[in-house]
Structure 1
């Protein structure tokens, strides 16, 4: 069979297998095995040699050691309830504003995102804390669900993000090293957070019924008390952010070393909050082991899929198709972003990275796009995958912990404007690439 036919059949088989509900890591590996045997003429030893060499290369990747370390840090922080104190403080400080509690949720989620790197902890924590509080204060259910779900997804973009660690380990390029990716993601993450804040403030300002302020009689704290409460709860997580990000951006530590420092810092914060005990350590370790095993299984399955796909000429087929179009390079970019967005509705972000990055990155290089800028566009695009039905993980995380008053209809209606905001933010990054490239240039000399 020709490479064109094999390419189409391989993708169709992958989509059909996923639609049937098979585990994603096993699906990727199985499809790779089937089409690898066809491409290699059923030469089993040669295919096994290809698989073993590529799988072993993953385990030799030192950068990926940061994955379990960042996950452990997130798990300890989640169980030490660091975010609860900050939310309580901002509840008092901002509650008197129209939409103030919604703004507080976005701020806390942004801070929490910079200390976790995964979205599950952020969405669940804010769903448990803010979901009932917003409901009690008369906030619109759809708006409340949209605020919690969308701001919770910032954890996959704002460093230290597991997705950025995986991306850096996947490409192996200096331009898209984990340090560069971390620096590049800071301003886009804060920019999206700012857009959420602006949307909540403007919408509640126009229609106060959507997000009413707390009653005047409940605003009994003085300005000094508010400042003290905010600083007391803000300084510890901010200090942890400085430890992790500061050492990376200053060149003092590698991302893996900074992740280890972050684990130590998370344990210290848990100890100071009197939440550090053997049960916390045990549960955090078990959760870390499960999540890391899942990510590595996906990594291996995705690696096998991509290496077979590229070896049988699938990458060349896609590249020739896109580069052969007589259109602007930005039209090709739009097509690649549309493919990533569509896949995000059905497939986990890790699998998408492992499938599309080896295919799309060479195309982006041929179009003379900055690889770091292109990488960040993919990562921002993938943030929407946590919100887009039918398989938006953030939606189900929130539904699992939210009060029963929140229906799936409320949640779906609530996320629509925030998906639009994310896509608008992506468009801004395309028009103004300096938002992505400026900070890496400051710290690492630019691209």
Structure 2
């Protein structure tokens, strides 16, 4: 069989298996096994050696130790209710302006994203905390669901992010080390949060019915000094944790793995001072960390096996020759790669997309003389949309699971569309101004 035929058939088999509802990690490994045997003449020992070597290489990657530590940090923070006090303070501070509660949700999710990096925790926490308040104050259902789902997805991009740790461990390039990715993601994350903030503020000022302010009586219960005190008291603990994790990485004091351990310890301290630290919390957080880490690593193994077989049989060269040899402008080639990632995000988990596309697209990007770090950040910003785009956007289902029964899936689908477009605007801004990605890494790490 020709390499071209095997390339198309392998992707077709993967899409078919996913459509049939099979678990993604095992689907990737199964498709890789079938096509690996076809490619090597059914040499089972040879394929088994390839599988063992790849699995051992993954398990021996020190960077990936950060994954369970960051997940544990997120689980402890979620159960210590750090975000509750901050939302209650911002409810009072911002609630008196049009769209103020929506703006409070964005601020809380941005801070929460910088301390957890777990989408499910952010969306569920704000869904439980913010939805009743938004609903009781008369916020449009579409607007409120869009705000919570979109702001909750910032956790996958703003460091410390599990996706960036996986990406850094996957490429093995100095330019895309976890430290560089963390530094490069700060401005993109802030840009997206700012776009959400501006959209809510402008839209609610044009049409106050979408996000009415709280009553003057409710807003006047606290003096300006009390409002500042409440905000600082609730903001200082998570900001101290952010400084402990990100500050040590950017200062070169600790590796991302060591910083993850420091973050998990800091989360324990915050849980203790919030009087939420007990045996039950530790047990649940540890068990959830075990399950999530196992899921991520199984995806990692299956995806790595798939990409290795695909590249070994020449599939990567077929894709590269098709795109580079087409004679298209390099920016059009970049658009095609981003469009493929966007479409895959509608149906496939972000980890699988990274594991399948990065080994194929990164060499093409470098061949076209794109900065590897900048290209990686475009990929990561693009992958954030995978949590919002129907039919399988995880953030939509997380929110639906905790939202009041008044919210239908149609409310949620309509609500997220403007924010998906805003993510596209953010991607365009990074394309026009690559220094927004590369400047901070050059300051902290040189090069």
**Shorter-chain TM band:** over 0.9
1:407 corresponds to: 408
Q: C-alpha distance in 2, partners of 1:346/1:211? A: 32
C-alpha deviations, 1:235-285, integer Å up to 9, x for none? 000000000000000000000000000001000000000000011110000
C-alpha deviations, 1:182-237, integer Å up to 9, x for none? 00000000010000000000000111111111011112100000000000000000
Unaligned runs of 5+ in 2: none
C-alpha deviations, 1:63-90, integer Å up to 9, x for none? 0000000000000000000000000000
Give SS of 1:115's match.
coil
1:361 corresponds to: 362
2:151 corresponds to: 151
Q: Cα distance, 1:45 vs. partner?
A: 0.6
TM-score by length of 1: 0.99
Q: C-alpha distance in 1, partners of 2:430/2:393? A: 23
Equivalent residue runs for 1:41-440 within 5 Å = 41-219=41-219, 220-440=221-441
Q: Cα distance, 1:361 vs. partner?
A: 0.2
Q: C-alpha distance in 1, partners of 2:328/2:80? A: 53
Q: Cα distance, 1:328 vs. partner?
A: 1.1
Give SS of 2:115's match.
helix
Q: C-alpha distance in 1, partners of 2:143/2:427? A: 22
Q: C-alpha distance in 2, partners of 1:376/1:120? A: 22
2:28 corresponds to: 28
Q: C-alpha distance in 2, partners of 1:445/1:43? A: 47
1:9 corresponds to: 9
Q: Cα distance, 1:315 vs. partner?
A: 0.2
Q: C-alpha distance in 2, partners of 1:8/1:327? A: 21
Q: C-alpha distance in 1, partners of 2:207/2:32? A: 53
Q: Cα distance, 1:113 vs. partner?
A: 0.2
Q: C-alpha distance in 1, partners of 2:43/2:209? A: 68
Q: C-alpha distance in 1, partners of 2:165/2:330? A: 28
C-alpha deviations, 1:102-141, integer Å up to 9, x for none? 0000000000000001100000000000011100000010
Give SS of 2:390's match.
coil
Give SS of 2:41's match.
coil
2:443 corresponds to: 442
Q: C-alpha distance in 2, partners of 1:407/1:303? A: 38
Q: C-alpha distance in 2, partners of 1:382/1:304? A: 21
Q: C-alpha distance in 1, partners of 2:289/2:207? A: 43
Q: C-alpha distance in 1, partners of 2:287/2:423? A: 33
Q: Cα distance, 1:406 vs. partner?
A: 1.0
Q: Cα distance, 1:326 vs. partner?
A: 1.5
Q: C-alpha distance in 1, partners of 2:71/2:84? A: 19
**Which consecutive segments of 4 or more residues in structure 1 shift more than 3 A?**
none
Q: C-alpha distance in 1, partners of 2:38/2:233? A: 62
Unaligned runs of 5+ in 1: none
TM-score by length of 2: 0.99
Q: C-alpha distance in 2, partners of 1:81/1:183? A: 27
Number of aligned residues: 446
Q: C-alpha distance in 2, partners of 1:407/1:57? A: 45
C-alpha deviations, 1:288-325, integer Å up to 9, x for none? 00000000000000000000000000000000000011
Q: Which moved more, 1:156-165 or 1:44-53?
A: 44-53
Q: Cα distance, 1:327 vs. partner?
A: 1.7
Q: C-alpha distance in 1, partners of 2:289/2:16? A: 31
C-alpha deviations, 1:8-55, integer Å up to 9, x for none? 000000000000000000000000000000001001111111111111
